[in-house]
Structure formats: structure tokens, C-alpha cells
Structure 1
């Protein structure tokens, strides 16, 4: 999805946490990658692998992305795209769910200290409900396309950010608690929470070009396909097939590729976040 060239994204709540070393954690390689993929990259509890690496966390100082001021910047630069997406999401959710305070995104490299603990880049993008902040290493987008098989594209990247913002909304509605019930499996609370965040992402996409300052141009069908490709790439079945050669639904925590695409499209086609009540659906396949 493309930003309007002259859009003002200066107020976007995103910053870069400076310092820190990048690269794979000591003891990384396939084992660490498997562990990270089990966490499933979106919305997983970073506590599951905190302390698993030996990377130096980025310094605690957050640096404003002052160079990111326009839609043209967002179209050309990933960090700026995060900032622009955060502003668009804030404008949408401020209008849609007024009780939720805006959240922020912190871009880091290598490892980061959060109020949920220390996490490495191998966790993938995640939301910490304690400090109500989204954390991501934008290098994940290369992994999403390269190792996980997504098509790439800017809307695929912004889908990731919108999904994490959805967890922030769930933190306010109380839905996020369902992911902490210790259950796994295709109908579990954890799966339902993740699919609702996908649906929320779709609802934002449907409204982004008409909400607030109208920072974005309406998506093309090709861009929608890129978002669906990203959603499919991080389905439990797709991850398991790639990494272990078999699918084990009883261990699912995020839903299948079809379910993730289906709920994203439920949000996109309805354009209504109130159509995303996955938690009370008779089945997660009812999209």
C-alpha cells in the first residue's frame, strides 16, 4: 500500500533504539530459528525465549525518526514506513475504539530490553502488554520473504505492524488474556486472539485511505495479495511443514494459513472491526 507523497507522517509514534549489536545470537542457527518460529513471530510471548541469546541489547535511548516526515519518505524507507503506518493505525483506532490510548513502535537491532524482559531479534515483531509497546527489527521483513516464502511488498510489511497494533487493542478490550490460558490447538484461545488481530489488520486496510488524514492510497488487488501472502507464510501449518516436515494441529497457537488469510479478509471485506469477534465464534473457520 502506497503513502500519498505529500502526506505528513511526522506525528507517527515510532522511534529507533540506538546501539546494540546485530546478527545471530550465540548458539543460533537452525535450533534457534526453530525456537523462534515456534513462538511464531507475531504476538508470541517473548518470555518464551528471553535470555536465549547472548546479544547485547540496543541502548535504552530512543531516537526519534526525525528524517521521516512525508509519505514519500515512507514509500522509500522501511523505518519511515513503520512510522507512517503507526500514525495511520493510530488515527483509525482512535476513531474506532476511543478507550484505547495510542501505542508506539520501537525499532531495534539484535536485542532489546523491554518491561516484558530482554528479547532478541529472533522473537520477531512482538507486542509487550506491560509497557504497551510494539517492538520489531525490520530485518524480519527480509526473513518473511526469504525464509518463510512471502511474496514481499509494502502492504505485507504493514500487515505485520497492523497485527501487532491489534494486540494493543486487545490489551484494552481484555481479549489478550485468552492467549495466556495455557491452551494450544486449532480452537484455542491463543489461536483466536491471533486471528482476531489478523482481522483487525484487515479492517484497518479497508479504511486506511479514508480515515483521519488519509495518509494512504487505497490498496490494489496486488497489494492485498501481498498481505495475504504474508499472513499465509506465518500460518502454523506452513511453518510446521517448512521446519519439521509435518503438521501437528494440536500444537497450534496462531492458526492455519487459510484461517489467517480468511480472518484478514473478513476484516477487509466488511471494513468493520466489530465483525472480528473470533473469540465468540462457534469455530475459527467461521470467517
Structure 2
């Protein structure tokens, strides 16, 4: 991506120069892409494998990081300085530029609707972080906390995205930020509150179906940003669109479940299949129109 000479956002809270002292457990919302592989690697065994699967999907659906309970790992609170590598410094600059570009895109879109866009804050952390949604470890992956309207990411996740999930590239990394900003759009427009209200009294499978629609809409909103970054500001190099599609495919529920357990359980999906995530991102990217992202009116076939 062509990002080096672009504007940096003023809404970045960089906490990466902090390491922490331990407490007992962590809680926070997130994608939870890294939790299960760590559990399997460190513990193994049939019983703990099952607990690992439950922890993995519990973290994705409820925002609960169960790794400390299963592994004895401690979560941290106090701060001591830590040195940032040149790569981490560059990644910090990169995500600041991406956040700034999402600000430009959504400010313009909201202005056309006669509204003001209140931008989120991006919190960069190392290892563990405290948010208004609770404490969270890097194991839950990038997440958005609606209670404080902030996006949280430990940038070591990008190493996993490249190596474990085989989705390298700048636009793949940008997609991650844009997806979480998509959840911010859902919060400030009231969509997230409507989903939570609609989920009340439903079965777990029905609640999951609404969660899938919400996540796919965030993917579509990420695509809307990508459209404007590419068409209006020429940030993408030729072929980079595929990087985001690869990232969306890598974190589909069906692929993650298959990798983790060897089986796929559609009723437990909370984010959508690889095909759905790619398709909705591309829909937003091709149209550049958030009105095309109404997954809640898409019928039974998403």
C-alpha cells in the first residue's frame, strides 16, 4: 500500500511501552484467532482440547479470555517500560495512517448524510490491556469495545496473520483495522444496540445467526473504506485487493473450526464462513456504499 507519506491519526493511544504485573484473569471482546492454537500447543490432550474449543468460541462470542483459567497464565496490570523494535515502530505508524484514512472516509460519508462522524480511538498494547469492557490479553486478537468506543490491537497479531493464517500484506493488515472500525460504525448508528435487543429471548443458534450478520456487515463496511482508499486516494497497489480477501477467508468460522477440531458446526458460527466474509467485503469494496451492507435484510442466504 502507498501509505508512508499519508496523514497520521491523532486518535492513537500507544501503550506498547508498557509491560505488566499479574492478576488472575482477563475479560474483553475480540476475534480470538490466537487463543485455541496456543492452548493446543501448550496443553494438548482430549479433555483440554475440548476446553480449548469452548474457550476459543467463548472468547469470540462473549469476549471472555479463558486462557488464564486453563493454562495458569497471569494477566497484567502495572506498567514498566519496554523497548519497541524498528518493525513495531513502523507498524505503529502504519496503523495510524490506516486509522486516519478511515476517519477521512467515514467523515465524508457521514457529512453527506448531514451527520458528524465521531472517530474511535485506536489503542496499541503489548500482551494485556485494560478496556471499559474489562481486561483482555493479546490472545483474543484485535477487538472493539463499544463501552469506550475504542479499537484495541496487539500488533504481534500481524505476525500470526502472516505466518499462521497465511494472509500477508499491508492491505490484509489494514482490513483488520477497518473491520473493527466497522463495529464502531455499528455502535454509533445504533445497529449494535438493535442486535443485542433482538437477541434477547432467542436460542443460542438464533443469537449466533444475528452475530454472523453483524460481523459480515462490519466486513462490508471495511470494504466500503477500501473502496474510497483505492478509488479516491489511490492507496492500493495492483493486486493488493486479494490480500484483504485472503485475510477474510483465513478467519472464516468454517475454516477456523476445521483447523481446530476437524469438524464444522454451522449453528455455532458467530462471524460467518470464509466465502461469506470475502463476499461481503467485496460487496462493500465494489460499491463504496454503506447502504449495500444491510446484511440484516439479506434473506436466509447471506
TM-score (norm 2): 0.77
| 1:248 equivalent in structure 2 | 265
Distance between the aligned counterparts of 1:252 and 1:246, measured in 2?
Answer: 12
2:90 alignment partner, one of 77, 81, 84: 77
How far the C-alpha of 1:143 sits from its partner, in A, is: 1.3
Contact 1:99 1:172 in 2 (8 A): no
Contact 1:127 1:135 in 2 (8 A): yes
Distance between the aligned counterparts of 1:144 and 1:115, measured in 2?
Answer: 26
How far the C-alpha of 1:175 sits from its partner, in A, is: 1.5
Distance between the aligned counterparts of 2:140 and 2:301, measured in 1?
Answer: 25
Summarize the alignment of residues 205-224 of structure 1 with structure 2, pairs less than 5 Å apart: 205-209=226-230, 214=233, 217-224=234-241
Q: State the superposition RMSD in angstroms.
A: 3.1
Runs of at least 5 residues in structure 1 that lack an aligned partner in the other structure: none
Summarize the alignment of residues 185-196 of structure 1 with structure 2, pairs less than 5 Å apart: 188-196=209-217
2:39 alignment partner, one of 15, 23, 29: 29
Cα distance change on mapping 1:45 and 1:222 into 2, 3 Å: farther
Cα distance change on mapping 1:79 and 1:252 into 2, 3 Å: same
1:54 alignment partner, one of 69, 74, 77: 74
1:276 aligned onto 2:293: yes
Runs of at least 5 residues in structure 2 that lack an aligned partner in the other structure: 22-33, 41-48
Structure 1 residue matching 2:93: 3-state secondary structure: helix
| 2:148 equivalent in structure 1 | 131
How far the C-alpha of 1:273 sits from its partner, in A, is: 1.3
2:57 alignment partner, one of 38, 46, 66: 38
Distance between the aligned counterparts of 1:100 and 1:49, measured in 2?
Answer: 35
Contact 2:65 2:137 in 1 (8 A): no
How far the C-alpha of 1:267 sits from its partner, in A, is: 0.2
Moved more, 109-118 or 172-181: 172-181
Name which one, 1 or 2, has greater alpha-carbon Rg: 2
Contact 2:172 2:246 in 1 (8 A): yes
